[in-house]
Amino acid sequence: MPRMLDVSDDVRAEIGDEEAERLLGGENAPGSYDCTSCRTPGNTERERTSTVLFVGEETAVLAFAHAACIPSQVVPVSEEQLQGAVRSITGEQGGAPAAAAAPQAPPAADGPVQAELGVTSGLVLIKDELIPALVVEPLGPIARPGTTGPVDVFLPLLIEQGFAPVASVEEVPEPNPGWSVLVAMGKLHAILQPAVPGAKASAWWQAHQAMQVADDWRAAVNKTKRVLVLAAPVGTIGQQPREDLLREALDRAASRGQLVAATMPLAGT
């Protein structure tokens, strides 16, 4: 039975015409699936469905999403992330997902930052709108690459890379071109930074294990398709158990000139 599948040109180029036709003919497509974007069930026989191809360095994984959620597309990811996505797709969860505030993976060794980053998800109220946000705080001082510090240059490094200083958490900052947030299978996988010319986008921060996010955060992201990424030096925000306390900590950091931010689209959109 034919499926209501969208296969974009770039997905077709990766999987080949033969496989694309098999999918469209229903041979290789699932009936029902969990949407890779909103995580709710979908059905390729009853609703328009986007094919989403996650491509790592060595392997690729085909996933499905409601066409209303995201268009058919190729999403470049690191191999490690892809393995996480595969585990997520196939439901082999290794252990309980970390709480939203758990410290997460170090970025790639050649990235601008060489320390563990803590990433917390939360909703931030700006002009009567709840904006899905990620708050990034290193677990130690960040030295400029190639030096040993001891000066913490986390914020200056981010400003050099297009983040804007935040004087008050009342404005949504400008998008930072090339940066994006990878949310797949309803979980947070990574913050991607622009590729150097000729290379794929690479992970600036990557979850050790795909990070569970709250339902209301995911719902907000599905609506806005954008994430506000806020960053502060070590010891500025800390672990806040509630969103009102998180907001107070952000306001305090902003008033002291210790907060930078950028708006990022979802990866692949």
Given the rule CB under 5 A, which residues bind Zn ion? 35, 37-38, 66, 69
**Cβ distance 253 to 259 under 8 Å?**
yes
Give the DSSP H or E segment for 117. Answer: strand 117-126
Comparison of 155 and 210: residue with beta carbon closer to Zn ion? 210
Comparison of 63 and 157: residue with beta carbon closer to Zn ion? 63
The distance of closest approach from Cβ of residue 65 to Zn ion in the complex, given in angstroms and rounded to an integer, is 5
Per the structure block, which two tokens stand in for 154?
């986390």
Q: Which residue is nearest to Zn ion, using beta carbons? A: 35
Comparison of 70 and 153: residue with beta carbon closer to Zn ion? 70
**How far, in Å, CA of 104 to CA of 266, rounded?**
19
The distance of closest approach from Cβ of residue 67 to Zn ion in the complex, given in angstroms and rounded to an integer, is 9
**Cβ distance 236 to 265 under 8 Å?**
no
Cis peptide before 150 (omega within 30 of 0): yes
The distance of closest approach from Cβ of residue 203 to Zn ion in the complex, given in angstroms and rounded to an integer, is 24
Comparison of 70 and 203: residue with beta carbon closer to Zn ion? 70
The distance of closest approach from Cβ of residue 38 to Zn ion in the complex, given in angstroms and rounded to an integer, is 3
Q: Could you tell me if residue 64 is left (phi over 0), alpha (psi between -120 and 50 degrees) or otherwise beta?
A: beta
